[in-house]
Amino acid sequence: MTITYINNLTEFHSAINTTANKLVVVDFYADWCGPCKMIAPLYESLSNQYAARAIFLKVDVDAASDVARYCSVSAMPTFHFYRRGVRVADFSGANPDRLRAEIEKHAPSSTEISFADSGLRLGSDPTPSNPPHSDAAPSAAAPSDDIQRRRMAAAAAAARRLEAKKAQEAQEAEAEAATAAAAEAAKAAAAEAAKAAAAEAVKAAAAAPSTENRPSTDAAPSAPDAPPAASPPAASSSDPQNDPRLNVNVLLLSQMVDEMGFPRVRAEKALILTGNKSVAQALDWCFEHADDPDIDEPLQVVTKEGAPKPKLTPEEAKKRAEELNARARAKREAQEKKEAIEREKQRLKTGKETTIAKQKLEEESRKRAVEEKRREKREALLERQRVRAMLEADKKRRRELFHMPPSDQPSASSPPVPRPPAPTHTEPSAAAGKIQFRMPDGSRIEGEFDGEQTMNDVVTFLLSSRPELSSRVLTFSQQYPRKVYLQSEYGMSLSELNLLPRAALTVSFS
């Protein structure tokens, strides 16, 4: 692998200024950055492919934050491209196509690299090691004076640039040392202030028994004179703050608040609960607990009343962090379980509603099928009645055509047959009887029938009594026992239908 990892600003300046004519590609990345991890294999492959034309560097923005600040890197991954110490291009984001295009655009060709390596060096003998033949032309024996002057000027300019870079690096190193010294002084002052506050607290605790033995009348006036160490420290602003007794790494806090834009309370809380180890672990904690409702609530040290508040050791802080993480994890699992139960209830409710809707559709389909069957039966009955009427009309027309007597009158040649006298006051036998028809308009019609007659004869009798019903579909029903006579029963005898010796039929038509 041909990738060089940069750890500080000095290594960075040395790498981009001492690479002759090659292109320098710099990848600013972070271990916690997903796009950085995605494009890392491609970056390694390109470093092998362009090893002869370019130098590939990688800078961890957490480990080498001074380099990231110097280059004004605000997003990861960010790629910078340098030629002879000058930045020629840069872009942010995991864009493989643009990365290839920029390398191909700015990387020198093989001939340019060979030409850059074959010139004269400072302090070397300009006379060639193998002088030409004595009869060669003087102009071909050595480079011209103009070319030599140009090369010397370029070498001097490169030396001046290198000296300027070194001076700038020295100034930056001095500034960093001054900043570190100021930070150490601030930490020492804070430690001295903490020691003084602890001493005041010890003095106040030692003076507490004498104040308890005073009379009750003096207790009230002495309350305002209590030592200030017993009261909580005053906040510098109205914003919530973490307990000042909890230690926070100032440099890591500055990176998270000033460079990444996290709220101060959240950044301090993340660093405290992860042991001030690194920005990456603090970011992992922030991302893991981003949905917690109390993520921006400040941390407070809870101790017994009147006792000095102890400082947490690293082991205790780690244990406390593990407890908080376990509590948050349990809370998250309970919420997920509750949501799963709600989803199951919603699924059951939806399934029940779907089943009810399906049953309703099936019921409506059955009703439509029954109604369609009834309509077909009515149409079939109406068609039979129409055919019967046509046949009767045809018979009547034939009788009139051939001057035949009607079928219900005896012919002239046949002798009259005397009818037997109607029985008086005799009950009908089981083979004969009367049927009463109850019409929709309230009228009633009675007819006598024998047991061998069928329902078709009943229909014929009713149509002869009411000719206006010949175009209607007739339906017969019996009240007790409750029964509706179907078209398939019209061919059965009245005895089989139990309509004799006496019955009452309700007539309806459509």
pLDDT digits (tens, 9 = 90+) for 460-500: 998 898 888 888 888 999 988 888 998 888 888 888 888 88
Among the options 6, 16, 30, 33, which is catalytic?
33
Has residue 453 been placed in a domain? yes
Q: What is the DSSP secondary-structure string of 322-340?
A: HHHHHHHHHHHHHHHHHHH
Closest-CA residue to 321 (of 246, 217, 396, 415) = 246
What's the mean pLDDT in 312-317? 88
Closest-CA residue to 288 (of 259, 322, 254, 325) = 325
Rounded to an integer, what distance in angstroms lies between the CA atom of residue 89 and that of residue 5? 20
Q: Is 286 a catalytic residue?
A: no
Q: CATH no. for residue 39?
A: 3.40.30.10
Render the burial of 79-90: b for 16+ CB within 10 Å, e for the rest.
bbbbbbeeeebb
Alpha-carbon radius of gyration of the chain? 56
pLDDT in tens, 65-74: 999 999 999 8
Residue 71's Cα: distance from chain center in Å? 37
Closest-CA residue to 85 (of 143, 165, 156) = 165
Has residue 419 been placed in a domain? no
Residue 145 has pLDDT above 90, yes or no: no
How long a stretch of residues is the chain? 510
Q: Is 71 a catalytic residue?
A: no
Rounded to an integer, what distance in angstroms lies between the CA atom of residue 453 and that of residue 312? 112
**Structural domain count of the chain:** 3
Look over the chain and give the mean of its residue pLDDT values, rounded to a whole number.
79
Residue 409 has pLDDT above 60, yes or no: no
pLDDT at position 421 is 53
Among the options 24, 36, 46, 94, which is catalytic?
36
Has residue 411 been placed in a domain? no
Boundary of a domain, candidates 88, 106, 124:
106
Residue 128 has pLDDT above 90, yes or no: no
Determine the 3-state secondary structure of 33 from DSSP. coil
pLDDT at position 221 is 38
What's the mean pLDDT in 125-149? 47
Has residue 389 been placed in a domain? no
Q: How confident is the model at residue 429 (pLDDT cuts 50, 70, 90)?
A: very low
Helix boundaries (H) for 242-313: 250-254, 264-273, 279-288
Boundary of a domain, candidates 75, 106, 137:
106
Has residue 201 been placed in a domain? no
Rounded to an integer, what distance in angstroms lies between the CA atom of residue 249 and that of residue 241? 16
pLDDT at position 24 is 93
Other beta carbons within 10 angstroms of residue 352's beta carbon come to 10
pLDDT at position 132 is 42
- Residue showing tokens 């998270």: 256
Residue 92 has pLDDT above 70, yes or no: yes
Residue 140 has pLDDT above 50, yes or no: no
Tell me the residue range of the domain where 24 lies. Answer: 4-106
pLDDT at position 26 is 95
Q: CATH no. for residue 257?
A: 1.10.8
Has residue 52 been placed in a domain? yes
pLDDT in tens, 159-212: 777 777 777 888 888 878 877 877 777 777 767 766 776 666 556 555 544 433
Has residue 15 been placed in a domain? yes
Residue 334 has pLDDT above 80, yes or no: yes
By 3-state DSSP, what share of the chain in percent is helix, strand and coil, each rounded to 5? 55, 10, 35
Percentage of residues of the chain with pLDDT beyond 70: 74
- CB 16, CB 83: distance < 8 Å: no
CA torsion 186-190-195-199 (nearest 10°) is 130
Spatial neighbors of 392 by CB under 8 A, at least 6 apart, are: none
Q: Whole-model pTM?
A: 0.28
Q: CATH no. for residue 448?
A: 3.10.20.90
What's the mean pLDDT in 288-300? 84
Q: How confident is the model at residue 17 (pLDDT cuts 50, 70, 90)?
A: confident
Residue 24 sits at φ, ψ, to 5 deg, of -110, 120
Q: Are strands 432-438 and 502-509 parallel, antiparallel or unpaired?
A: parallel
What's the mean pLDDT in 404-414? 57
What's the mean pLDDT in 445-450? 90
What's the mean pLDDT in 252-278? 88
Has residue 57 been placed in a domain? yes
Closest-CA residue to 485 (of 469, 496, 470) = 496
Boundary of a domain, candidates 289, 316, 339:
289
Rounded to an integer, what distance in angstroms lies between the CA atom of residue 342 and that of residue 425? 84
Determine the 3-state secondary structure of 483 from DSSP. strand
Rounded to an integer, what distance in angstroms lies between the CA atom of residue 446 and that of residue 449? 10
pLDDT at position 411 is 47
pLDDT at position 129 is 42
Spatial neighbors of 2 by CB under 8 A, at least 6 apart, are: 47, 48, 51, 55, 56
